[in-house]
Structure 1
Amino acid sequence: MRILVIGGGGREHAICWALKKSPKVQELYCAPGNGGIAGVAECVPIQVNQFAEIAAFAISHAVDLVVIGPDDPLSEGIVDYLEAQQISVFGPRQNAAIIESSKVFSKHLFKKYNIPSAAYETFDNYEAALAYMRNQQIPIVIKADGLAAGKGVVIAQSMEEAEKALHDMMVVKIFGDSGNQVVIEEFMTGQEMSILSFVDGAVVRPMVAAQDHKTVFDNDLGPNTGGMGTYSPLPHIEQSIIDEAIETIIKPTAAAMVSEGRPFRGILFAGLMLTPQGPRTIEFNARFGDPETQVVLPRLKTDLLDIFLAAVDGTLEQIDIAWSDEAAVCVVLASEGYPGSYPKGLPIQGLDEVQDALVFHAGTALKDGAIVTNGGRVLGITALGSDIADARAKAYAAAERIQFQGKHSRTDIAKKALV
C-alpha cells in the first residue's frame, strides 16, 4: 500500500517510523517531512495547509491512505476535503476536531454530559473576564479558546500574572483569533497523565498511558512548551486509576461526540489530572500527542497500519492490539531560547553515534547534505528498557552524544516514576 503522512515534526517521524515496519507498506510519503523523516519516507514539499496540492499528490501517486498528524489541518477540515474527493484518510472530520480547536466547545461538552473536569467560565469580552477573574482564587488557569501550538494555557501564580495573560490573549492577541474567547478555570492539583486512544465513533481502544513534562525547566518550572519529554508506562500510578479515567472520561466523551452528531474517528488524546477527587479532564486533543507518540508507538506490537485501516473500515472493535512490557523514555533536545525566539540552521553533531535509542526529528532540516536545527524542539531521544530507570539511563546517554550550539534539555524526565 501507498501511505501519505501529513506533518513534519517528531510525532510524524514516530508515525512514519512505525508505519515503515509494516510489511503492507509499499511506498511511504510525508508532506512536508523533515531532515530525519527523509530517512524513512520520501519527503514531499507540500505544506500541511495546502489541501488541493495534498489531494492532487494523493490521486496522482495512487495513495491508499492519508494519515493526518497535526492539529491545524484537522481543525481546518482537511479530512472532509480529502473524503469529498474519495481519498481514504485517517483522522477526525472538522466537526469532531472541534474538541481540540475550541476549548469553549469542549468545556460545554464536559458540563452537558457530566464528564469530570475543572469548574470554569467562558468569556468573549475582556472587561467581563477581568472582573470575574479578580474574584477567583489563585492559582488560576487562563486558556485561549483556539489552537496555540500547545502554548495557549497559562497557570497564573499571582493575580498580576493572570491579568497579563488575559490581556495578552484578548487584547494584544498574541495567539490571534484563538484569543477571541477564553476559558477561565479553577486550578486542579495532582499528577498529569496522558491517554491516547484509537477511536471510531463509540468504539474506544486505549493505548498505554504516558506522562509529559510541559514546562521548559526542571522541577516543572518556567513557561509551558509543546513538551520537553515523556515516558511510559506509569508504574507509580495504579492501573485501577487509569481504568477509571478510561471508563468515566474517555469513553463517555467519545459517546458524547456521537450524541452531538460529531462522531470522532482518529486519535482522541486525553490530558488528565489525577486529583484527590479522582481523574478529571484537563483537555482533549484530536490527534497523536507530541512527544507522547514517541514513547507510545515504540511500545506498540501490533501493525499500526492495520489499526488505522480498521478504524477507517469500521472494524476497530475486532482488531487485537498488543503492547510491549518494556518501558520507554523520551528526552527532548531543544534550541536555546525555546519556547521564545531561537536560532535556526545550526549544525547537529553526533547523530551517527547514538546507540540503544531512537532519534525522532522534531525541528530539523537538510542543508547541503547535513542535518541542521530548524525548530524549537529539535530532537526527541527515545530509549526502551526493562524498566523506567533502564530506559531513562539509555535515553540520557544517547542524548549526551548529540551536540548543537545552545542545546537545552531537562534533566529530570521520568524522575517521578523512580519510586
Structure 2
Amino acid sequence: MNVLLIGAGGREHALAWKIAQSPMLDRLYAAPGNPGIGECAELVPLDLLDHDAVRDFCREKSVDLVVVGPEAPLVDGLADSLNDAGICVFGPSAAAARLEGSKGFTKDLCSRHDIPTARYKRFSDVAAAKAHLDESGYPMVIKADGLAAGKGVTIAASRAEAEAAIDGCFEGDFGGPGAEIVVEEFLEGEEASLFCLCDGTRALVFGTAQDHKRAFDRDRGPNTGGMGAYSPALALNDRMVERVISEIIEPTLKGMAEIGAPFCGVLYAGLMLTETGPKLIEYNVRFGDPEAQVLMMRLESDPLPIFLAAAKGDLSGIAVEWSGDRALTVVMAADGYPGAYDKGTEISRLPENDATTQIFHAGTSRDGGRLLATGGRVLNVTARGRTVREAASRAYDAVEKVQWEKGFFRTDIGHRAIMIEDS
C-alpha cells in the first residue's frame, strides 16, 4: 500500500521509521518531512493548508492511507477534507479534534460525563479572570484555550505570576490573542500518559509513557513541548490502566459519539495520578512528541494494519505486541529554547544508529552537505534497554557523540524510574 505521512518533527520521523519497516508498504511519502524522514520516505513539498492539493496528490499517487502526525492539520479539518474525497485517514475529524483544540471544550465534556479532572472555570476576558484570582488558592494553573505547541500552560505560585500568565494568554503569547483561557486547580501526584487507538466506539490501549516538560534538570525552568520521555510508565500498572479506561476514556468516547463527533485516531490522555485516583489533565488527539519516539522503539507489531483498522472504524480483533524492553529518549534543543533561539546552527556530526539506538530528527534541515538546526527541539536521541537505566545509558552515550555546539539537553531523563528500579 502507498502511505502519506503528514508532519515534519521527531514524532513523524519515528512514525516514518516504523512504517517503513512494514511488509505491507509499497511507497511512503512525507509532507513536508525533514532530513531524517527523508531517509525513510520520499519528501513532497505540499502546503498542508491547501486541502485540495493534498487530496490531488493522494489521488495522483494512489495513496491508500494518510497518517496525520501533528495536531494543527487535524484541528484545521484535513481529515474531513480527505475522508470526504474517499481517502482513508488515520486521524480524527475537526469536530473530534476539539478535544485538543479547545481545553474549555474538553473540560465541559468532562463536567457533563463525570470524568475526573481538576476543578476549573473558563474566561473570555481579562478582568473576569483576574477577579477570579481572589477566590483561588495557589499554586493554580492557567491554560490558553487553543493550540499552544505544549507551551500554553503556566503553574502560577503567586497572584503576580497568575496575572502575568493571564495577560500573556490574552495578548497572544501562546497563539492567537484574546480568545479564551481556562483556570484550574493545581493537582498533586505523578504525571503519566496513556495512549489509545480509537475507532469511534472502542479504545485499544497503545502504550504508556512519562515525559519531562520542564526545560532543565530537576524539573526546573519553563514548560516546553517535552525534553525527554521513557516507556512504559512504571506508575501506570494494569490496574491503573483499567481505571483510566473505565473512568476517563470510555466516557469520553461515549460523550463524543453522543454529540455526533465520534473519535477515530490516537487519543492521548495526559493524567495526574492523585491520592484519590487518576484525573485527566488534558487530551491530545495525536501521538505525543517525544512520547511517540519511545513507543515506536518498543512496538513489535506492524503499525499499518493497526492504523488502517482504526481509520476504517473497526479495531475488533486487533492486538498489539510490545517489546519487553524499556525505551528512553533525550531531546537535544537549541540554546534558549523554549524562548528565543538561533536558527541555522550547524550539527557537524551524528553517531551511527544501531539495533538499540536511533536518532530522530525533530528540527533540522540540509544546506548542501551541512546539517542545520532549524527548530527549538532539534534531535531525539532514543534507545532501548532491559531497564530504564540501561536505555538511559545508551541514549546518553549517543548524546555525547553528537557534535553540536549550540544545543543543550537535560541530564536526568528517567531519573525517577531509575530510582524505583534500583530500590
Question: What is the aligned partner in structure 2 of residue 99 from structure 1?
Answer: 99
Distance in 2 between residues matched to 1:108 and 1:178, nearest whole Å? 22
Question: What is the aligned partner in structure 2 of residue 88 from structure 1?
Answer: 88
Comparing 346-355 with 37-46, which one deviates more in the overlay?
346-355
Distance in 1 between residues matched to 2:16 and 2:231, nearest whole Å? 20
Q: Is the 8 A contact 2:351 2:398 kept in 1?
A: no
Instruction: Report the AA paired with residue 175 of structure 1.
Output: F
Question: What is the aligned partner in structure 2 of residue 283 from structure 1?
Answer: 282
Map 1:20-419 → 2, pairs under 5 A: 20-170=20-170, 172-177=171-176, 179-355=178-354, 356-418=356-418, 419=420
Comparing 85-94 with 104-113, which one deviates more in the overlay?
85-94
Instruction: Report the AA paired with residue 140 of structure 2.
Output: I
Comparing 233-242 with 30-39, which one deviates more in the overlay?
233-242
Distance in 2 between residues matched to 1:349 and 1:396, nearest whole Å? 18
Given the superposition, is the C-alpha separation of residues 236 and 308 from structure 1 closer, same or farther in structure 2, using an over 3 Å criterion? closer
- Report how far residue 353 of structure 1 moved: 3.9
Partner deviation per Cα, 1:279-299 (whole Å, 9 max, x = no partner) = 000000111110000001211
Distance in 2 between residues matched to 1:176 and 1:219, nearest whole Å? 28
- Report how far residue 45 of structure 1 moved: 1.2
- Report how far residue 157 of structure 1 moved: 1.4
Q: Is the 8 A contact 1:74 1:93 kept in 2?
A: yes
Q: Is the 8 A contact 2:192 2:211 kept in 1?
A: yes
Distance in 2 between residues matched to 1:209 and 1:167, nearest whole Å? 35
Instruction: Report the AA paired with residue 397 of structure 2.
Output: A
Given the superposition, is the C-alpha separation of residues 384 and 407 from structure 1 closer, same or farther in structure 2, using an over 3 Å criterion? same
Comparing 112-121 with 80-89, which one deviates more in the overlay?
80-89
- Report how far residue 370 of structure 1 moved: 2.6
Partner deviation per Cα, 1:158-198 (whole Å, 9 max, x = no partner) = 1111100001111x222343651110000001111011111
Question: What is the aligned partner in structure 2 of residue 4 from structure 1?
Answer: 4
Distance in 2 between residues matched to 1:234 and 1:80, nearest whole Å? 33
- Report how far residue 266 of structure 1 moved: 0.4
Q: Is the 8 A contact 2:141 2:154 kept in 1?
A: yes
Given the superposition, is the C-alpha separation of residues 319 and 178 from structure 1 closer, same or farther in structure 2, using an over 3 Å criterion? farther
User: Helix, strand or coil for the counterpart of 1:360?
Assistant: strand
Distance in 2 between residues matched to 1:243 and 1:350, nearest whole Å? 45
Distance in 1 between residues matched to 2:71 and 2:235, nearest whole Å? 31
Partner deviation per Cα, 1:334-393 (whole Å, 9 max, x = no partner) = 000000111111221331445541111100011113321110000101101111111111
Comparing 233-242 with 177-186, which one deviates more in the overlay?
233-242
- Report how far residue 102 of structure 1 moved: 0.5
> What are structure 2's unaligned runs of at least 5 residues?
none
Given the superposition, is the C-alpha separation of residues 179 and 288 from structure 1 closer, same or farther in structure 2, using an over 3 Å criterion? farther
Instruction: Report the AA paired with residue 197 of structure 1.
Output: C
- Report how far residue 260 of structure 1 moved: 1.9
- Per the normalisation by structure 1, the TM-score is 0.97
Distance in 1 between residues matched to 2:220 and 2:146, nearest whole Å? 24
Partner deviation per Cα, 1:63-119 (whole Å, 9 max, x = no partner) = 111111111110010011111222111110011001100011000000000000000
Instruction: Report the AA paired with residue 205 of structure 2.
Output: P
Distance in 1 between residues matched to 2:407 and 2:101, nearest whole Å? 32
Instruction: Report the AA paired with residue 42 of structure 1.
Output: E
Distance in 2 between residues matched to 1:65 and 1:94, nearest whole Å? 18
> What are structure 1's unaligned runs of at least 5 residues?
none
User: Helix, strand or coil for the counterpart of 2:62?
Assistant: coil
Distance in 1 between residues matched to 2:348 and 2:316, nearest whole Å? 45
Number of residue equivalences: 418
Comparing 106-115 with 298-307, which one deviates more in the overlay?
298-307
User: Helix, strand or coil for the counterpart of 2:256?
Assistant: helix
Distance in 1 between residues matched to 2:177 and 2:244, nearest whole Å? 29
User: Helix, strand or coil for the counterpart of 1:347?
Assistant: strand
Distance in 2 between residues matched to 1:179 and 1:40, nearest whole Å? 41
